[in-house]
Amino acid sequence: MPVPTAFARDQWYVAAYGSEVGGEEILARTVCGEPMALYRTPDGHAVALADRCVHRRYPLSEGTLEDGRLVCGYHGFTYDRAGACVSVPGQTRVPRTARVTSYPLAELDGFVWVWIGDPARADVSAVPRAPWLADPAWTVVRGMEPLNARYGLLVDNLLDLSHETFLHAGYIGTPEVAATPITTEADEERGIVRVSRHMDDAECPPFYADSTGLKGRVSRWQDIEYHAPCLYLLHSRIAPVGSVPGADGSDPDAFHTEVAYAITPSTETTTYDFWLVARDFAREDEGVSAFLHDFNRTVVLQDVTALDILERVTAEEEGRRVQELSIGIDAGGLAARRVLERMIARSAKRDEGAPAAGVPGAATAAVAVAPEAGAAR
Ligand code: FES
Ligand SMILES: [Fe+2]
């Protein structure tokens, strides 16, 4: 089963960080092949409209904002946040079909999530959560790197961290990562894959040694939770060898980082790689923040370089009979491929006969907005 290139529809995807949406700026992003223009109304609501004017298809992201309405930069068609055109130049009558898709949107945990699929199925309670990313008890560094590779390659990469030993040697990889077996479980119905690797006596890589002060051998746990298709969580624990959490969950000798990725397909061969590192230690230390930001970005860029290469060779081999050889370390990645294929097949089946998204005149989304407290900026 190759990595998928098709998109699972009827799913939530991260289009942006909340902090990227606001002010006079209109942000252009393409999610699952759908170009969208993101902006914020004066009352703080983030909006995502299809990024093509209904008139001559000029990108709305090239327009301007006036009192929370988006004015097309070409001839001035003006849209409200539900995507309805409220004025056109040269006439008072606005054609009934003058409207663009307004994507259902939820702003949670610092992310702007958009719903790709049938708006009637958008359920904000189904957005997977990562609460520590917007919790003042945690300090977060983050970034986003665009990837010239299909999203399935990034899913594969993140579900199998044995690559840390080789691709990230001297950064986050040590011999024990590749040497330690994993346990994997998949809840295919809910689209969740869990992969755990507990190293009880391992070298402490610079990423953790320099940020925590722990030196020498450590206990290092990696517990992955992938909420397909978009959200990847890595619960990471570093502690002195022999230290284990108490029965009540207390873990005073350990350092915890909550690493998150939002894996958002842009086109079939490009991806947004949103990455975040939240920590519960040295929370006020800006030196530690700068170190973790720069260090993690370097590690992400090592993946980006490798995955861009892999995309090139995968594309060259398209249509040829090529075979991969999977082993034990691939259990998580293979489970994720199965979960994704199932989601893709399900949504394709539901989509049969449904009108294409973004078509002018198609039913416009009932916008399910869940503005985050303090989101206005
Ligand atoms: S293309 Fe937008 S108003 Fe003409
Ligand atoms: Fe990596």
How many Cβ atoms are within 10 Å of 315's Cβ, its own excluded? 12
Ligand 1 atom 4: the closest Cα is on which residue? 75
Site to probe by mutation for ligand 1, drawn from 52, 53, 99 as the one with most ligand atoms within 8 Å of Cβ, is 53
pLDDT in tens, 244-289: 999 998 999 999 999 999 999 999 999 999 999 999 999 999 999 9
Q: 301 pLDDT exceeds 70?
A: yes
Chain centroid to CA 352: 27
Instruction: Please tell me the number of the ligand nearest to residue 53's CA.
Output: 1
- What phi and psi values does residue 298 have, to the nearest 5 degrees? -60, -45
Contact in structure between 229 and 215 (CB atoms under 8 Å): no
Instruction: Give me ligand 1 centre to Cα 115, in Å.
Output: 25
Instruction: Give me ligand 1 centre to Cα 91, in Å.
Output: 14
Q: 43 pLDDT exceeds 50?
A: yes
Q: 100 pLDDT exceeds 60?
A: yes
For the chain, what is the largest distance between any 2 Cα atoms, rounded to a whole number of angstroms?
A: 76
Instruction: Indicate which atom in ligand 1 lies nearest the CA of residue 53.
Output: 2
- How far, in Å, CA of 278 to CA of 260, rounded? 8
Ligand 1 atom 3: the closest Cα is on which residue? 75
Fold match between domain 11-126 and domain 131-344: no
**pLDDT tier at 5, thresholds 50, 70, 90:** confident
Is the C-beta atom of 77 inside 6 A of ligand 1? yes
Instruction: Please tell me the number of the ligand nearest to residue 59's CA.
Output: 1
DSSP state string for 268-337: TTEEEEEEEEEESSSTT-HHHHHHHHHHHHHHHHHHHHHHHHHHHHHHHTTTS-------GGGHHHHHHH
* Strand, coil or helix: 172: coil
86-115 average pLDDT score: 97
Instruction: Give me ligand 2 centre to Cα 109, in Å.
Output: 23
| Mean pLDDT of all residues belonging to the chain | 92
Contact in structure between 296 and 303 (CB atoms under 8 Å): no
- How far, in Å, CA of 306 to CA of 299, rounded? 11
pLDDT attached to residue 73? 98
pLDDT attached to residue 355? 55
* Of 23 and 260, the one with more pLDDT: 260
pLDDT in tens, 118-158: 999 999 999 999 999 989 999 999 999 999 999 999 999 99
Return the residue matching tokens 């606001």: 22
Instruction: Give me ligand 1 centre to Cα 60, in Å.
Output: 8
Q: 356 pLDDT exceeds 80?
A: no
Tokens describing residue 254: 């350990």
Strands 270-279 and 255-267: antiparallel
Instruction: Give me ligand 2 centre to Cα 203, in Å.
Output: 18
Is the C-beta atom of 75 inside 6 A of ligand 1? yes
pLDDT attached to residue 98? 97
Q: 339 pLDDT exceeds 80?
A: yes
Is the C-beta atom of 56 inside 6 A of ligand 1? yes
Percent of the chain with pLDDT over 90: 87
- How far, in Å, CA of 10 to CA of 3, rounded? 20
* Domain residue ranges of the chain, discontinuous segments joined by +: 11-126, 131-344
Is the C-beta atom of 76 inside 6 A of ligand 1? yes
pLDDT attached to residue 314? 93
Question: What's the residue count for the chain?
Answer: 377
Q: 26 pLDDT exceeds 60?
A: yes
Instruction: Give me ligand 2 centre to Cα 328, in Å.
Output: 18
Chain centroid to CA 346: 21
Torsion of CA 153, 159, 163, 164, to 10 degrees: 120
- Find the helix packing angle between 286-316 and 151-159, rounded to 10°: 120
Residues facing 169 on adjacent strands: 173
pLDDT attached to residue 374? 37
pLDDT attached to residue 372? 46
Is the C-beta atom of 74 inside 6 A of ligand 1? yes
337-341 average pLDDT score: 97
Give the angle 59-106-72 at the CA atoms, nearest 5°. 20
Q: 102 pLDDT exceeds 60?
A: yes
**pLDDT tier at 358, thresholds 50, 70, 90:** very low
Residue 238, judged by CB atoms within 10 A of its CB (0-12, 13-18, 19+), counts as buried
How many Cβ atoms are within 10 Å of 11's Cβ, its own excluded? 23
Is the C-beta atom of 79 inside 6 A of ligand 1? no
Instruction: Please tell me the number of the ligand nearest to residue 160's CA.
Output: 2
Q: 357 pLDDT exceeds 90?
A: no
pLDDT attached to residue 117? 96
pLDDT attached to residue 370? 43
* Strand, coil or helix: 208: helix
Q: Which amino acid would we find at residue 348?
A: A
Give the angle 295-299-305 at the CA atoms, nearest 5°. 140
In this structure, whether the domain defined by 11-126 belongs to CATH 3.40.50.10420 is answered with no
Contact in structure between 141 and 292 (CB atoms under 8 Å): yes
Q: Which amino acid would we find at residue 85?
A: C
131-344 has which CATH code?
3.90.380.10
pLDDT in tens, 192-230: 999 999 999 999 999 999 999 998 899 999 999 999 999
Is the C-beta atom of 53 inside 6 A of ligand 1? yes
Instruction: Give me ligand 1 centre to Cα 96, in Å.
Output: 16
pLDDT attached to residue 38? 98
Ligand 1 atom 1: the closest Cα is on which residue? 56
**pLDDT tier at 353, thresholds 50, 70, 90:** low
pLDDT attached to residue 1? 81
CA Rg, the chain, in Å? 22
Instruction: Give me ligand 1 centre to Cα 287, in Å.
Output: 48
